[in-house]
């Protein structure tokens, strides 16, 4: 599921092209300002095409000719971020924001640049400023939620995801993230409800089906867990974790050892190597076909130490 943090949208530099607050400096001659505008427009074209290094060079030329062309500095910051030069991008964008503290586009771009530089604490602080100024900014709310969760503040992260979904109940990325986070904090009934809603819209998402199966398994609703794992495997046959947990249920929770052995063998063939889960399977007092399970594990050097048939 791709959106971990949403980037500043392409809308920024197109809007700023006409923004009246970002005017060229009066110190530039009309001719240099005209050339600077041309370089700026060319830079925008290359930014659209993701030719970031070329865009950077053009924006640098624009601000050299017209040091007051702040929209070129802004787009330079965007291009630097995308080109992996976040440290310089932060300096450029922070300098602009100091001159215009209430500019929400700059706040958004700076927050993302902080994140790209690995400065998530600063990114969180900047996103907080942005959502305080613009409570309906769905992208900022989403990104703040993701960063808060990464920082171990899951409960607050959930509150911001809920705000996203109040605005747009069909935001599937937010819906998936909410289900994942609910599962992480142990709110399993809510997690399954959220993930069921998500997979109704995106049944092809094997990772979501796998997560849904895990939630049902933890709730000991094994029939629903097996359904979800099967749905995951229908989309991605080589999803070893779905096969392993299907085997775990069949070998330790319901009486279907033939299916369990087949799924276990396939999971191991596909590279399943999670030692803790394998040990939990091998150590289960309810394990069926123990000798055959141990043989499968031993053949691959996966039999946990201290566990005997």
Alpha carbon distance 5, 7 (integer Å): 6
Instruction: Give the pLDDT score at 187.
Output: 96
Q: Work out the angle at residue 74's Cα, subtended by the Cα atoms of residues 112 and 98, and round it to the nearest 5 degrees.
A: 80
Instruction: Give the pLDDT score at 31.
Output: 78
Low-confidence residues of the chain: pLDDT under 70: 1-29, 309
Task: Give domain limits for the chain.
Answer: 169-218, 237-309
Instruction: Give the pLDDT score at 197.
Output: 97
Instruction: Give the pLDDT score at 11.
Output: 35
φ and ψ at residue 253, rounded to 5 degrees: -120, -30
Instruction: Give the pLDDT score at 33.
Output: 86
Residue 175's nearest CA partner among 205, 134, 150 is 205
Instruction: Give the pLDDT score at 22.
Output: 36
Assign 16 to helix, strand or coil: helix
User: For residue 296, how far is the Cα from the chain centroid?
Assistant: 36
Instruction: Give the pLDDT score at 32.
Output: 85
Instruction: Give the pLDDT score at 156.
Output: 96
Ramachandran quadrant class, 186 (left: phi over 0; alpha: psi -120 to 50; beta: rest)? left
Which sign does the torsion angle of CA 210, 215, 220, 221 carry?
A: negative
What one-character DSSP code corresponds to residue 24?
Answer: P
């Amino acid at each position: 599921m791709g959106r971990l943090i949403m980037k500043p949208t392409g809308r920024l530099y197109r809007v700023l092209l006409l923004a009246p607050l970002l005017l060229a400096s009066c110190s530039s001659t009309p001719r240099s300002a005209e050339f600077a505008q041309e370089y700026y427009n060319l830079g925008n074209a290359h930014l659209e095409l993701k030719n970031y290094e070329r865009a950077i060079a053009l924006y640098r030329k624009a601000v050299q000719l017209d040091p007051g062309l702040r929209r070129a500095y802004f787009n330079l910051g965007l291009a630097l971020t995308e080109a992996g030069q976040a440290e310089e991008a932060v300096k450029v964008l922070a300098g602009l924001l100091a001159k215009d503290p209430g500019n929400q586009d700059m706040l958004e771009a700076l927050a993302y640049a902080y994140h790209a530089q690995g400065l998530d604490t600063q990114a969180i602080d900047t996103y907080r400023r942005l959502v305080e100024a613009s409570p309906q900014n769905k992208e900022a709310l989403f990104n703040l939620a993701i960063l808060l969760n990464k920082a171990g503040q899951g409960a607050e992260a959930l509150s911001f995801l809920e705000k996203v979904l109040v605005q747009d109940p069909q935001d599937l990325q937010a819906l998936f993230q909410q289900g994942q986070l609910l599962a992480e904090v142990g709110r399993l009934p809510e997690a399954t409800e959220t993930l069921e809603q998500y997979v109704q819209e995106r049944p092809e998402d094997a990772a979501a089906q796998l997560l849904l199966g895990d939630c049902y398994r933890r709730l000991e609703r094994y029939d629903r867990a097996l359904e979800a794992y099967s749905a995951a495997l229908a989309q991605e046959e080589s999803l070893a974790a779905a096969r392993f947990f299907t085997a775990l249920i069949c070998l330790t929770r319901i009486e279907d050892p033939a299916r369990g052995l087949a799924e276990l063998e396939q999971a191991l063939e596909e590279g399943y190597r999670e030692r803790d889960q394998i040990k939990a399977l091998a150590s289960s007092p309810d394990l069926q076909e123990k000798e055959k399970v141990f043989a499968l594990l031993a053949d691959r050097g996966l039999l946990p130490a201290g566990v005997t048939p």
